[in-house]
């Protein structure tokens, strides 16, 4: 089964508008996510899904200039946008990566993919420290197209259409959910590497992070 890394991005963030194109140590946030995701050994293809609004035209053009495929869909119905992108590109397995996670770690993406295929589950994750000891922003979420389709068919609440896997968490009895702990060297669940606010971005700018860095190098630099 092939794995498609689907990066969710937009310019219309309420807390930090246009953050995808903001600079972090010489590259935009979205380029950080793309370049680091490209280092994965188990991802077969990468797709960035963005809203089809005029506001996001410049984001579309920028991502395409990096040689990455873009799919555009509803801004509000994020679940629908994801589902349509998977149908359009015949996706088997979805690895959802947040566009505001510039330090996402390719080795941890591969660890998640291997875990998912080695365990009997509908959905697995390591992007947040929930029932695991991962830092916030190193990993992703993974499920099959059939699981995503089940969510798409049954999810009707606005919250479930905007946050595509909230339906799973609100219906845990219907899904086999699994996670796991990271290697001890990066097991720092108090660390936050995602960018929600200007303060988050300024905090990351204070460190000399590089796109080529491994997870343990990022952690070691952060906790100095």
- What percentage of the chain exceeds 90 in pLDDT? 98
Token pair in block for residue 164: 């595509």
pTM: 0.97
pLDDT the model gives residue 60: 98
The DSSP bridge pattern shows strands 93-98 and 3-8 to be parallel
Q: How many domains is the chain built from?
A: 1
Which tens digits make up the pLDDT trace of 172-209?
999 999 999 999 999 999 999 999 999 999 999 999 99
Alpha-carbon distance 174 to 120, whole Å? 14
For 31, the domain range is 3-223
């Amino acid at each position: 089964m092939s794995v498609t890394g689907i990066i969710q991005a937009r310019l219309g963030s309420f807390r930090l508008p246009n953050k995808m194109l903001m600079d972090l140590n010489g590259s935009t946030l979205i380029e950080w996510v793309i370049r680091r995701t490209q280092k994965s050994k188990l991802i077969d293809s990468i797709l960035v899904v963005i809203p089809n609004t005029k506001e996001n035209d410049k984001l579309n053009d920028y991502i395409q200039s990096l040689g990455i495929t873009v799919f555009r869909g509803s801004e509000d119905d994020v679940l629908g946008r994801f589902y349509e992108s998977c149908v359009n590109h015949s996706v088997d397995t979805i690895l959802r990566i947040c566009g505001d996670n510039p330090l996402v770690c390719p080795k941890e993406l591969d660890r998640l993919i291997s875990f998912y295929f080695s365990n009997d589950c509908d959905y697995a994750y390591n992007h947040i420290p929930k029932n695991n000891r991962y830092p916030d922003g190193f990993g992703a979420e993974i499920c099959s197209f059939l699981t995503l389709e089940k969510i798409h068919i049954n999810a009707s609440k606005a919250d479930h259409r905007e946050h595509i896997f909230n339906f799973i968490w609100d219906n845990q009895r219907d899904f086999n959910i699994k996670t796991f702990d990271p290697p001890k060297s990066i097991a720092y669940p108090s660390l936050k590497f995602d960018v929600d606010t200007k303060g988050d971005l300024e905090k990351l700018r204070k460190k000399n992070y590089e796109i080529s860095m491994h997870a343990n190098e990022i952690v070691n630099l952060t906790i100095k």
